[in-house]
Structures are given as structure tokens and as C-alpha cells.
């Protein structure tokens, strides 16, 4: 396996504050899962924000297939699925409608196959018929399942997960782990931050430990 995503001497500070990340270099390979571990404030979420091109580094860069992700972020983001630490999903849509929107926005909607793929993914995540209710009525666990489903439905090359098991019950968490392991086995690359070390151990091939800078 060859690496295709590289964090290269990556550092980040906000304004005139201290460095949140300092000199991080790491090479990620296809078909692997990397766990991001460290105490709160050690830079895990900042690293994921840089990887999603929603923040820019103070120094260094991130290369995807040999090109800086910050040169053409929209082109790069077509290959990315994400679960962020925010849950501000559009409350006027259902999870089903949001997933369809994601597929159409990525130009991956197929009238014949996509509805069946969506139902299968929801069922694998143990997301019942309430997926057709408005997101504004969802519990925290249902919001988390919605974000997981949207991150996986386009079959991206990379998924970035910030506390993806938050608010999930044990059955749903195990279902999510099975899905992520299957995704990895098809060549997908996972970067995941979680406080649930035992859950990470089930899917991760390696870890990056974030010290407090």
C-alpha cells in the first residue's frame, strides 16, 4: 500500500496564541484506520479541521495524491466524508432527505440504486423509520447516526471522524464499528478521534498521540 495523504511539518496557531499543533508529520495509507488520541485541547480537532480544509495551517501543508489540499480545496473535498463535533444539521429536512441531498451534491445520485443503498445503510446503523421524521425532532443518538450515514453514503476515499460514537447506545456503536471496518477493508482511509479507546482498538491500525503543546 502506498501513502496518498501526507501531513507535512504541520503547525497551527490561532491569532497570536500558542501553537495548537507543532511540526506534525505523518503519512496515511489506503485501507487503514488511524486513531487520534490525547487530552482535550491537545489539537485533535484542529488537526481534523485542517484535514477537512476548514482551517489553514500556520506552517506546513497537507498533500493528497501529491497536491496541497489548500490549493484546490473543493476538488479535494469530493473525496472526503466527515463527522464533525458539531450537530447543526438542517432541522427542516429528514435524514433521508439530507442523505439524498448529499448524493446529489456529489453527483452520485442514481434513481434506481441510491434509495436502496440509503435504506440498507440506515438499517445497518440501526436507524429505524424515524429517519423520515424532521431532523429537528431527533435525539442526540439519531443526529449522530445521520452524520455517520452521510459520511459513508458517497463511498469517499477518506473519512474524518471527530467523536463519531458520541451518544450512541452499545448496539448502535457496535453496528457503526462493523460498518467502518468494512469501509476500511474496501480501501477506505479512516482518521478518527474518540475517547473510547476500546472502540478505537477494534478498527485502528495505528495511533497518533497529541501532546499538549
Tens of pLDDT, residues 91-136 = 999 999 999 999 999 999 999 999 999 999 999 999 999 999 999 9
Query: Residue 164: is it exposed, middle or buried by C-beta count within 10 angstroms (0-12/13-18/19+)?
Result: buried
Residue extents of the structural domains in the chain: 3-209
Query: Looking at residues 6-35, what average pLDDT do you find?
Result: 94
% the chain with pLDDT above 90? 85
* CATH no. for 3-209: 3.40.50.300
Q: What is d(CA 195, CA 178) in angstroms, rounded to the nearest whole number? A: 18
Residue 1's pLDDT is what?
Answer: 45
Query: Residue 171: is it exposed, middle or buried by C-beta count within 10 angstroms (0-12/13-18/19+)?
Result: exposed
Query: Looking at residues 160-167, what average pLDDT do you find?
Result: 93
Residue 42's pLDDT is what?
Answer: 83
Pairing assessment for the beta strands 80-83 and 33-37 based on DSSP bridges: unpaired
Say what the pTM is: 0.93
Q: Which long-range contacts (CB under 8 A, 24 or more apart) does 202-208 make?
A: 202/177, 203/33, 203/177, 204/33, 204/34, 204/35, 205/32, 205/33, 205/34, 206/32, 206/34, 206/35, 207/34, 207/35, 207/36, 207/37, 208/24, 208/26, 208/34, 208/35, 208/36, 208/37, 208/47
* Per-residue model confidence as pLDDT tens digits over 77-90: 999 999 988 778 99
Residue 6's pLDDT is what?
Answer: 96
Give first-to-last CA distance, the chain, whole Å: 32
Amino acid at each position: 500500500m502506498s501513502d496518498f495523504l501526507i501531513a507535512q511539518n504541520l503547525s497551527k496557531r490561532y491569532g497570536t496564541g500558542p501553537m495548537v499543533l507543532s511540526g506534525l508529520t505523518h503519512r496515511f495509507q489506503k485501507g487503514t484506520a488511524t486513531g487520534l488520541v490525547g487530552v482535550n485541547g491537545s489539537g485533535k480537532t484542529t488537526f481534523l479541521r485542517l484535514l477537512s480544509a476548514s482551517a489553514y495551517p500556520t506552517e506546513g501543508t497537507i498533500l493528497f495524491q501529491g497536491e496541497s489540499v489548500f490549493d484546490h480545496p473543493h476538488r479535494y473535498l469530493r473525496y472526503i466524508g466527515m463527522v464533525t463535533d458539531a450537530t447543526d444539521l438542517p432541522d427542516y429536512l429528514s435524514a433521508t432527505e439530507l442523505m439524498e441531498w448529499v448524493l446529489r451534491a456529489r453527483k452520485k445520485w442514481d434513481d434506481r440504486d441510491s434509495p436502496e443503498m440509503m435504506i440498507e445503510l440506515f438499517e445497518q446503523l440501526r436507524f429505524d423509520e424515524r429517519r423520515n421524521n424532521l431532523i429537528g425532532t431527533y435525539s442526540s443518538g439519531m443526529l449522530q447516526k445521520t452524520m455517520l450515514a452521510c459520511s459513508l453514503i458517497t463511498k469517499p476515499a477518506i473519512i474524518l471522524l471527530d467523536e463519531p460514537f458520541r451518544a450512541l447506545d452499545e448496539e448502535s456503536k457496535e453496528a457503526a464499528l462493523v460498518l467502518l471496518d468494512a469501509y476500511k477493508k474496501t480501501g477506505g482511509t479512516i482518521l478518527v478521534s474518540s475517547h473510547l479507546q476500546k472502540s478505537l482498538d477494534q478498527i485502528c491500525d495505528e495511533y497518533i498521540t497529541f501532546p499538549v503543546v
